[in-house]
């Protein structure tokens, strides 16, 4: 099931929790996209959802702290079948139908598709220059705002991270982490994760966070939050209890950094 929005350059599809973004060992979002393509004049094979509330834990379009991050030119696509048909006929499986971003299997949110080659090339160039800012929503236990010592509205986690194994990453935040480098794989990645508390609910003891990144490394947000003792709720890989049906990292989108 997909929710689709668009502007003049991009299509945005909604990937649900628990589904790989692209081709691999498991059935992925792009394969469902192919199966949903209208064939022989018929309609899509799968129902297409057009209501974001079917997936969002909070209404992202009306929740006031998020409004400034939304592009007002984004509008729901009326003919989703034509969108799917265009991406699959114009761009090959090897090109991933011009998918511009990927999300972890356990992360739901928007997947972006370029409408044409110039936009695809422009996005890739900006991404290589770290000029794409992506916004996520995460929920953690406890009041993480207490870490904002200077009262400036947020803080940055900037520990380097690297592969610990084929399935896990590790934050190199102290001597223990540095020693783990000997057993790591690949190189260190210098990345920054900006954390801002949007809301803290005392009753549930849960903080809702706006998380911003530029250079995305696998599991970056999950590893960085876990490294300071605040694993994402629903992320058992890094200590955030058992998976649940609600998304724990909500991809809000990106903006061009001037």
Active site residues: 104
* CA distances (Å), origin 125, targets 99, 128, 212: 14, 5, 19
How many C-alpha atoms does 167 have within 13 Å on its Cβ side? 5
Sheet holding 75-76, edge to edge: 75-76, 4-6, 10-15, 108-114, 249-256, 132-141, 206-213, 193-201, 155-157
3-state secondary structure of 201: strand
* CA distances (Å), origin 67, targets 61, 62, 97, 206, 241: 6, 7, 29, 21, 30
The full DSSP string for 31-49 is HHHHHTS--TT---SS---
Partners of 155 in the β-ladder? 195
* CA distances (Å), origin 80, targets 96, 136, 222: 18, 25, 32
Only one residue has tokens 């299997």, namely 105
CB contact at 8 A, 13 and 20: no
Distance CA 4, CA 75 (A): 9
């Amino acid at each position: 099931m997909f929710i689709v929005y668009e502007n003049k350059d991009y299509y945005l599809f909604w990937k649900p929790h628990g589904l790989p973004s692209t081709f691999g060992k498991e059935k992925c979002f792009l394969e469902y996209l192919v199966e949903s393509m209208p064939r022989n004049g018929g309609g899509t094979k799968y129902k297409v959802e057009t209501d974001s509330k079917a997936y969002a834990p909070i209404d992202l379009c009306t929740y006031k702290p998020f409004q400034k991050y939304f592009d007002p030119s984004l509008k729901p696509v009326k003919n989703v079948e034509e969108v799917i048909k265009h991406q699959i006929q114009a761009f090959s499986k090897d090109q991933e139908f011009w998918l511009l971003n990927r999300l972890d299997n356990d992360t739901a949110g928007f997947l972006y598709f370029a409408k044409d080659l110039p936009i695809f090339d422009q996005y890739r160039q900006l991404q290589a220059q770290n000029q794409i800012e992506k916004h996520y929503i995460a929920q953690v236990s406890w009041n993480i705002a207490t870490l904002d010592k200077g009262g400036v509205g947020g803080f940055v986690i900037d520990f380097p991270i690297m592969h610990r194994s084929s399935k896990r990453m590790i934050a190199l935040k102290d001597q223990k982490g540095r020693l783990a480098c000997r057993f790591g794989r690949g190189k260190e990645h210098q990345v920054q994760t900006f954390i801002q508390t949007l809301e803290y609910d005392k009753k549930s003891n849960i903080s809702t966070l706006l998380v911003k990144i530029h250079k995305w490394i696998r599991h970056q947000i999950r590893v960085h939050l876990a490294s300071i003792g605040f694993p994402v709720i629903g992320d058992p890989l890094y200590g955030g209890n058992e998976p649940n049906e609600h998304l724990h990292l909500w991809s809000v989108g990106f903006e061009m950094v001037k």
